[in-house]
Every structure is written in C-alpha cells, then in structure tokens.
Structure 1
Amino acid sequence: MIDHEHDLASVRDATERLLADAASWDNASAAEPSRLPGWTRGHVLAHLARNAEALVNVFEGRPMYPSAEARDADIERDAPRPLDVQLADVRATADLFQESAAAPADWDRVVELRNGVTDRASRVPFRRWVEVALHHVDLGCGYELEDLPEEFVRREIDFLAERFAGHPQVPSTGLRADDGRTWTTGGGSEGGPVTVSGPAPELLGWLAGRRDGSALKTEGGSLPQLPPL
C-alpha cells in the first residue's frame, strides 16, 4: 500500500541530503560534468527544480510541461546559473512541491504525467523521491547507489520490474538480489528465461541505466539489453 505521507517525508530527507552535499561546491564544481551524458551538474540541479514545479502542475490539474521542447529549453537556460542561485531554486521549488502536496486532495485520483503516462496521485511523491535520489547519484559527488535507503532500492526495483514487464524488447527475466529477494520482468520478446543476480544496488543501477550490469551474474543467457527509460 502506498503511503504518500511517508513518501513526502522521504522526499524532504533526500532533498536535504542532496543540498547538503552540493553546498560544499563552488561555481566551478557546479559546471563540472555530471554522470549523465551531455549534462553538467548544473543541468541536473536545474532539472530537479523544474521537475518539482512540473509535479505541482500535475497535482493541480495542469499539463506537467507545456511541451518537451519547453522542458528542455528551461533546463538549458537554467543550467549555467551560479551555485547559490541553483541551490536556492532547488530548495524553493522543493518547498512548493511539499506545500502543494499538503493541500486537501483525493489521493486516489488519476493524474497525467509526461507523454500521456497516467498514475494515481498517491504515487507522485515516490516518483519525486526517485528523481531526487537517483539524480543525487548522477551528480557524481560521492553519493552512490549503495548509499540509497534499502526501502528505496527495493521499491524502485519493484517499479522498474513492473515497467519492463511484457516489454517487446526484453526477454523473460528473473531478478534475484543477494539477500534472496526476487522479481520477474520482461517476457515480451523471444529468448529467455534469463536469471540476473547480484547486489540489489547493482540490479537497480542496471535497470535504471546507471550501471552496465558487468557486476551482475546471468544464467540461461546473456544480460538482456534494456531500452532507455
């Protein structure tokens, strides 16, 4: 069962961790490349701020972004800003997100996200947690997948396994973490079944496109090639 209040608290905690790490940088550090191709750390921070605003739009029944082009243009516009401006924007928009989520609402209602994707409003706080937590790792500032809360790792693997279930490019795939937890995904293409096993953070990194899967073990075939998220 989704507990949106718990997830909102987790978003606050994740945001504070990210801001605390970034507060030690200078402007040159913010302009350094992130782990995302073509994006600096400034791009990541700008994206996080604009994403918070976009999710407020979702809560309040407006389109998440005016268009894909406008989303990308806003990130490019804001990426070169001085670090203090970036961090103030991330904090202010994070507060705005929390304020919007605190308004009385039907958390069972269906809301529309990007590209026609729909979900229940109660799942939006976890989606924001994903944005903050994974992009903290993308900043390349010493916060790694292994530092993510265990609950987050499990739930994001749940989410991504469901997302790739039946995908036409992914063969039937079993996932097994070293602690014994298992998932199934894929099944929409020929081949398999394949079992992929390893530490849960490595499984998450592979599913989320943050690691190449070379630290994972496979049985029954080669490591499936996952489509981009």
Structure 2
Amino acid sequence: MTHTPPDFPRDTAAVREATDRLLVSAGKLDDEAIAEPSLLPGWTRGHVLAHLARNADALSNLLTWARTDVRTPMYASDTARDADIERDADRPLADHVKDLQESAARFDAAAGALPDGRWAYRVEMRNGVTERADRLALRRLAEIELHHIDLGVGYTLDRLPAFFTEAYLDFLAAVKFAGHRDLPALELVTPDGSRRRTGRTDGDAAPVVVTGAAADLVGWLTGRADGGGLDTAGSPLPGVPPL
C-alpha cells in the first residue's frame, strides 16, 4: 500500500518527553565525560549539548517570526552559530543541563504562544530553506532524538519512539530528499507494507527498493547507520547525501 503521511501534532509534548530522556542521559555524565568525543566527527559531547540548546532558541526565533510576522532569523549568521557552540562546549555539565532546561522551556513557550491561524505560516531556516511553522516541533524532536544518539551514551536507533521514526521517515522521504538530484530514485518499504517514494524524479529508471524497519531506514538516511540491516534485493545500497 502507498503510505499517506499523517500530520505531526503541533503539541510539543513529545518534544518535552524527548528532552527529559536526554537530560536523564546527560545527568549520568560528568565534566570529564562532557569533554570526550561524541559520535560526530570533531565534536565533543559538550559541542552536541551546546548545539541542542542553541537550536532550541533558534527554532523559538522562527516560532516568534510566525507569530508576529516580523522576520526573526534562526541564527544571526552561520559564523555566530558556530561561535556560540564553540563558546559553550567546554562548560561544566551543570551549566549544560541548566541551559538545556531553560532553552527547552523557551521553545515550549514559543510554540504555546502561536495562534491556531499561524501554524501554516512559512519561515526561513538556514541555507534559505523554508518551512511551515507546524513542522517545527518535528524538526526540534529530530534534533533531540538524533543528537541523543550522537552523545554515545547508549541511546541507539532501536530506542527511538516508533511514532517518531514513522513521522520522521515521512519527512525525509516527502520533504528532505524528495527530488534530490544526488540521491537515486528510491522506494522505501517498511514491514507493514507502507511505501514511500523519494530521491530523483527526472529519470526513467525504476526506483531502488529498500526494505527495512523505519528506525533502520531513518538511521541510514541520516548517517547514523550503514544500512546493514536493510534489504535491496541484491541491488547496491545507494550512498546518501549529508543532511
């Protein structure tokens, strides 16, 4: 059957729950562990946590833009974004935890303040990408869930909530990689028989059919797994461009 993506709820309860799980994992670390490498090349765990806090504020900026119709950039600039992460990466664990809590609360408040009539408003993210306000909660949830994995603290793909992997696979297929010229045409098939088309649409070749659990497909498409658990019926597994 063809998969029809559901609307992701505008309620940020899932974001709050994911943040709580992240804070539990972070709370088990110490200042020494924060300075150790994460699973992201060139970043320590402190870099990952600092990025997550600043991303919450960046998405809060976009929600404010959607509410007020006054352009509020996600970040002042890419240079400023990178500098803020570097500035905050080496902080003690307690400072990271406090920042994560406070920035999460600001995001939640910004989402709660957005009137119903403004959820369809489009804002501009980094690199000129436009996005609807009603998809920013999913964007934030993905940041938390995937970077929780990147901390390298035992939170793995198989622990991702099923509703998130389904919703994010919808997003990756229908938005992120739809028509992407650097990804061949794909048909993603999950065990329930759902099918999602993505990748290039300008050729006549049949799509590569990639079958696997939603979590495994998300892991492969986001660079968190090598696709070893996926089935392509003997075809080579295509390379995926970076997010």
CA distance in 2, matches of 1:103, 1:189: 42
- Asked if 1:83 is matched to 2:93, the reply is yes
- Assess if the C-alpha contact under 8 Å between 1:171 and 1:189 holds in 2: no
Supply the AA of the counterpart residue of 1:193: P
Where in structure 1 are there 5+ consecutive unaligned residues?
A: none
Among 101, 109, 112, the alignment partner of 1:99 is 109
User: What does residue 130 of structure 1 align with?
Assistant: 142
User: What does residue 68 of structure 2 align with?
Assistant: none
- Asked if 1:166 is matched to 2:172, the reply is no
Q: 1:104: how far off?
A: 4.1
Q: 1:49: how far off?
A: 0.5
Task: Give the secondary structure class of the aligned counterpart of 2:74.
Answer: coil
CA distance in 2, matches of 1:104, 1:67: 25
User: What does residue 66 of structure 1 align with?
Assistant: 76
Q: 1:132: how far off?
A: 0.7
Among 178, 186, 193, the alignment partner of 2:199 is 186
User: What does residue 10 of structure 2 align with?
Assistant: 4
RMSD over equivalenced CA pairs, Å: 1.5
User: What does residue 189 of structure 2 align with?
Assistant: 176
Q: 1:181: how far off?
A: 2.4
Sequence identity of aligned pairs in percent?
Answer: 52
CA distance in 1, matches of 2:192, 2:39: 28
CA distance in 2, matches of 1:87, 1:151: 26
Supply the AA of the counterpart residue of 1:129: L
Supply the AA of the counterpart residue of 1:181: S
- Asked if 1:115 is matched to 2:127, the reply is yes
User: What does residue 41 of structure 1 align with?
Assistant: 45
Distance 1:103 1:194, change over 3 A: same
Q: Deviations over 1:173-201 (max 9, x none)?
A: 11112333221111346554211112221
User: What does residue 139 of structure 1 align with?
Assistant: 151
User: What does residue 13 of structure 1 align with?
Assistant: 17
Q: 1:122: how far off?
A: 1.1
Q: Deviations over 1:119-149 (max 9, x none)?
A: 1111111111111111111111111111111
CA distance in 1, matches of 2:74, 2:35: 27
Task: Give the secondary structure class of the aligned counterpart of 1:174.
Answer: strand
Task: Give the secondary structure class of the aligned counterpart of 1:45.
Answer: helix
CA distance in 2, matches of 1:116, 1:187: 21
Q: 1:220: how far off?
A: 6.2
CA distance in 2, matches of 1:63, 1:188: 32
- Equivalenced residues, count: 227
User: What does residue 60 of structure 2 align with?
Assistant: 56
- Assess if the C-alpha contact under 8 Å between 1:35 and 1:138 holds in 2: yes
CA distance in 1, matches of 2:87, 2:202: 41
- Asked if 1:195 is matched to 2:199, the reply is no
- Assess if the C-alpha contact under 8 Å between 2:63 and 2:114 holds in 1: no
Distance 1:192 1:222, change over 3 A: farther
CA distance in 2, matches of 1:143, 1:176: 25
Higher relative contact order (CA 8 A, sep 6+): 2
- Assess if the C-alpha contact under 8 Å between 1:137 and 1:144 holds in 2: yes
- Asked if 1:216 is matched to 2:230, the reply is yes
- Assess if the C-alpha contact under 8 Å between 1:107 and 1:122 holds in 2: yes
Q: 1:69: how far off?
A: 1.1
CA distance in 1, matches of 2:197, 2:234: 14
- Assess if the C-alpha contact under 8 Å between 2:119 and 2:132 holds in 1: yes
